[in-house]
Amino acid sequence: MKLVSFHLMPYRPLDLAEAAKHRSPWVVLPNSLYDPIKGAEEYAAHIDALVYAEELGFDAIGVNEHHQTAYGLMPAPNLIASALIQRTKKVQIAILGRALPLTNNPIYIAEEFAMLDNLSKGRIIAGFVRGIGSEYHSSGVNPYFSHERFHEAHDLIIRAWTEPGPFAFDGDHFNLKYVNLWPRPYQTPHPPVWIPSQGSSETVSWAADPKRKYPFLVTFSSADLVARYHNAYRDQARQHGYEASAGQLGWACPIYVAETDERARAEAGRAVETLFNDFLRQTFEMLMPPGYTSMASMKNFISSRAALRGVKMTADALIDSGTALIGSPKTVLAGIERMRERTGFGILVALLQFGILSDELTRRNMDLFAAEVMPRLRD
Amino acid sequence: MSDLALFYLDLIEEAQLDNIHLIANSLGGWLAAEILIRDRSRFRGLVQLAPAGIRVKGVPCGDNFIWGPEEAIRNLYHDQAFADRILSLTPTEAQMDIMLRNRFTVAKFGWQPRWFNPDLEKWLHRIKLPSLVIWGDDDKIMPPANAALWQQRLPDARLVMIKDCGHLPHVEQAPIVARHVLTFLEGVAS
């Protein structure tokens, strides 16, 4: 199994009580609540944790892009990736991902990934995402065209990476007289492309297409949902006439390991609750701007929402539903093995720091995961 | 918006309508202006009720895309009794579908830039028609500050500000608005 140590880089010093007075920690949370002195320490600590993951033997370390939120301090994940390249030697660096529709010129994304791929001598994994709903509020980009812009930007980037330039690109959203990347990507034909997603059927089908066969990562979902999306991907692959490999199915999940289940819950319970209840807290209108998903998906979301409204998630519920793996090495391994039996997935994207989890506990979690869990996952 | 304006001009031509009085509100006001700058020949007069379409730089409109459902309804009105009445009704599934479709469509037109066309204001001088601009002084969506700019840019416009009124003057202050509109129409006819 391929193991990725992934980080969101949350702003942990956030005054949660103060933040709770606002609509959300996304888009509208006053940035007077950000203290640069503390924030700079956060960057240092979070980067140290990712660098340490190479030492522990992870195959890849991962970062991602979110804007105007205390949930994650990486509006420009490639800047962090660039720093990581300088401090690591062998580990792959996964940017999971860049939000393609949010930019007005996707060539910049193609260029930056190509630069990182050269700087790292081919260690880059390029994640492509649409950005979550809130990012259409913070960027001003029209969510109605999100899908179209994603697909067109994707096509442009892949062509820019693979076709001899200069050539002209003639799209509905992006028009460029000259596409001619300097540098070209280091890897041939280009860095591997991964698709992190909440699991829309449209995205599953698109990623599984034989022309792409992009690894599909399901993020922050209950074990049942993860299994459903993985198997939906498998079904799509079969309809296309091939069998999906383990390396095409990924699961991104908060993980915490301690000596016993009780100790793990005591140490990480509050932190995982802050991830879901404080840092991820968004309204329907923020998550689902009009046009971001199809009308049918949005209606489903509305009907499931009545039940969710105002309900805080407890650590117990998150653990019981398999949304987070928190427990002894045996418990965590069992959770991973169970999913492996259900779906045959082969990429584990482990979020080993989440919410307010401290540096000390993060380090202990990483050590124990590497010592007790990782060896059992090597095929 | 351009497509929609030309579609309506085709429709009006096909239906052979003439001497039209156009009364519009909000996004409809934007559309009315887009129609009339292209071809006003079949029209007699224009009534604009808190139209979108142009902006006063530095005066933002309300963000009704981020408001929750109750907040969005409350922010439509000055007098919350109107909001209370609407909030006490439960929409049918068919009505919910229509509302969702409307939300998608208005986002397509007005998300970015928010509720205006940067090229519209400079062509408003083409609307050489008697016009009446009506605005609620407590409009939380379209800033009342926009009213003066409309009056300035339309060649022949009178402005009426309505006291204690939100974004839907024809709903919230119906008798007053009706009186102003009728007086205006009589004036145009004479």
Q: CA A179, A184, A188: angle at the middle one, nearest 5?
A: 120
- Chain A positions in Cβ-Cβ contact with residue B108 (cut-off 8 Å): 142, 144, 290-291
pLDDT digits (tens, 9 = 90+) for A167-189: 999 999 999 999 999 999 999 99
Average confidence score pLDDT of chain A: 95
CB-CB under 8 Å, A283 with B108: no
Any A CB within 8 A of B92 CB: no
The 8-class DSSP code of residue B125 comes to G
Topology of the domain covering B2-189: Rossmann fold (3.40.50)
**How many C-beta atoms lie closer than 10 Å to residue B179's C-beta?**
11
pLDDT score, position A198: 79
CA dist., res. A50 & res. A90, Å (int): 13
- pLDDT band for A294, please (50, 70, 90 cuts): confident
Q: Which residues of B touch A172 (CB under 8 A)?
A: none
Q: Which residues of chain B fall below pLDDT 50?
A: none
How confident is residue A300, by pLDDT bands cut at 50, 70 and 90? confident
Q: Which residue has the tokens 């879901």?
A: A276
Res A308 pLDDT > 60:
no
- Strands A249-257 and A175-179 come out as unpaired
| pLDDT tens figures, A102-130 | 999 999 999 999 999 999 999 999 999 99
For residue A320, is pLDDT > 70? yes
Indicate the domain borders of chain B: 2-189
Q: Provide the ipTM.
A: 0.94
A306 has a pLDDT exceeding 70:
no
Token digits for B81? 């009794």
Q: What is the mean pLDDT of residues A330-347?
A: 98
Please determine, for residue A310, whether its predicted confidence score (pLDDT) is greater than 80. no
**Nearest-CA distance from B68 to chain A in Å?**
7
Mean pLDDT of A47-59: 98
Give the residue from A23, A286, A19 showing the smallest Cα distance to A132.
Answer: A286
- Between the alpha carbon of residue B36 and those of residues A1, A189, B22, B23, B119, the distances in Å are 64, 54, 10, 12, 14
Q: What percentage of chain A reaches a pLDDT higher than 90?
A: 92
pLDDT at A111: 98
pTM of the model: 0.95
Task: Sketch the domain layout of chain A as residue ranges.
Answer: 2-377
Choose from B112, B115, B116 for mutation: most chain A CBs within 10 A: B112
Bridge partners of residue A60, in order along the sequence:
A4, A92
For the domain spanning A2-377, the CATH number is 3.20.20.30
Q: Taking residues A22-51, what's their average pLDDT?
A: 98
